Each structure stands twice: as structure tokens, then as C-alpha cells.
Amino acid sequence: MAVLQRSRACGLLVLSAGMTVLKLGLARLGDAPRIAVMSRTLIESGLPWTWTPRRVAAHMKQRENLSVIATVERELAGFVMAQFGNERVHIALLGVAERYQRRGLGKQLIRWVEESAVVAGLFQMRLEVRATNRIARRFYATLGYSELGSAPHYYSGVEDAVQLARDLRVEKRIADSG
Ligand SMILES: CC(C)(COP(=O)(O)OP(=O)(O)OC[C@H]1O[C@@H](n2cnc3c(N)ncnc32)[C@H](O)[C@@H]1OP(=O)(O)O)[C@@H](O)C(=O)NCCC(=O)NCCS
């Protein structure tokens, strides 16, 4: 379903798709348990649960962390968590609840992080996905991410990861010269 409307006010991004209004905003520490629960289902299915509420909260407390959530009324529809380093930004977690997938929400969450990265003067985006996660690999390819290689047994020693990257400067240079 296509996103029909988009507006930004006071750090809040509202996406209206049909009758559903999705609100994007910064996550709070109190959101850690539900982010962790959704991660377990969407991202760590079939693997040991490593993104526990405690670990999610610990990441959110770090100064270099950016966590954004999407909600429909009070329901959690999606989230992204990223770490801002000295040279690059690492996307640690991204998930969109099944019923809200294919509405452009995942893309909006990633774009929020990318726009924040540029403001912070960081242009290198990095992340890992499960090698078997074809949907996520296709999603990131659509957003301009390239596959760098694989990390054997990255996930709890039982599944390989594919490492992905995007250089945000490349498109900026193209846009500047155009
Ligand atoms: C990957 C994920 C975050 C995508 O979120 P989403 O909100 O559904 O994605 P979007 O609607 O923004 O999709 C953007 C584009 O990505 C591609 N894409 C997304 N989902 C796809 C699918 N199931 N099949 C094929 N292409 C897909 C499409 O090109 C899509 O554009 P389109 O709908 O106009 O064709 C979501 O599927 C998800 O949460 N998966 C489980 C968790 C996960 O894999 N997380 C990522 C690794 S940590």
C-alpha cells in the first residue's frame, strides 16, 4: 500500500496510508521491552534471543545510540536502532510488524537514520543481515546498499551474516553535480 501523505512537525513524522496513521518519533527507554519482543519474533526467529529487553535498554542508554519507533495509536509498528561511531553508523536492529510491512515504513525508518548520519557528518552506513533473509537483502538493495561479503557463523555461531554498506556521499555528489 502506498504512503499517501507525509509531514514533519516537532521531530514527529506522520505517514498516512489509507486509514492508518503511522507516527515516527524517538524511542524511550520504556519502549525497550516491546522492541526486544518484536526483535525476537522478526529478527532472531530460530536463533537464541540475544536482543533481550536489558540489552536493548543498555544500547538505548548509550549517547551514540539513535532509536526511532513507529506507532499506530499505542501499538508498536516498527523500530530501528543505530549506533553512531567516529567514522560510520551501524544499524543494529530494524523491524516492521508484519501487518504494516510493504507500506514504505522500513524505508522511512532507515531514511531517518541516514538523514541523522549526514547531519552528524557521517556518510558510511553499515549493517549485517542473516544470509537467509532474502527479503531484507532485497529491501536494502532497493535502498542503495551493497553487499560487501559474509561473516561466517556471525549469529550465535549457527548462521552466516551478509555485511551491507552504503556510502551516502556518492548520491550526494551525483545530486550536487546534477
Ligand atoms: C525488511 C523489512 C524491515 C522491510 O520493511 P517494510 O516496511 O516492509 O519495507 P518497505 O515497505 O519500506 O519496502 C521498501 C522496498 O523494499 C523492497 N521490499 C520490501 N519488502 C519486500 C518483500 N517482502 N519482497 C520483495 N521486496 C520487498 C521493495 O522494493 C519495497 O518497495 P515496494 O513496496 O515499493 O516494492 C521488513 O520486511 C521486516 O521487518 N522484516 C523482518 C525483520 C528484518 O528482516 N529486519 C532486517 C534485518 S535486521
Place of cell 499506530: 72
38-71 pLDDT per residue, tens = 999 999 999 999 999 999 999 999 999 999 999 9
Higher pLDDT residue, 3 or 145?
145
Residues with CB under 6 A from ligand 1: 42-43, 93-96, 101-107, 129, 133, 135-136, 138-139, 142
Which pLDDT value is given to residue 6? 43
Place of cell 529487553: 53
Is residue 2 very low, low, confident or very high in pLDDT (cuts 50, 70, 90)? very low
Supply the residue whose CA is at minimum distance from atom 27 of ligand 1: 139
CA of 101 to the centre of ligand 1 (A): 6
Q: Which domains does the chain have, with CATH numbers?
A: 5-126 (3.40.630.30)
- Residue 20: all three cell numbers together: 492508518
The whole-number average pLDDT for the span 91-108 is 96
CA angle, residues 144, 60, 114, in degrees to nearest 5: 20
Counting Cα atoms < 13 Å in the Cβ hemisphere of 166 gives 23
The whole-number average pLDDT for the span 101-119 is 96
Pairing of strands 88-96, 124-130: parallel
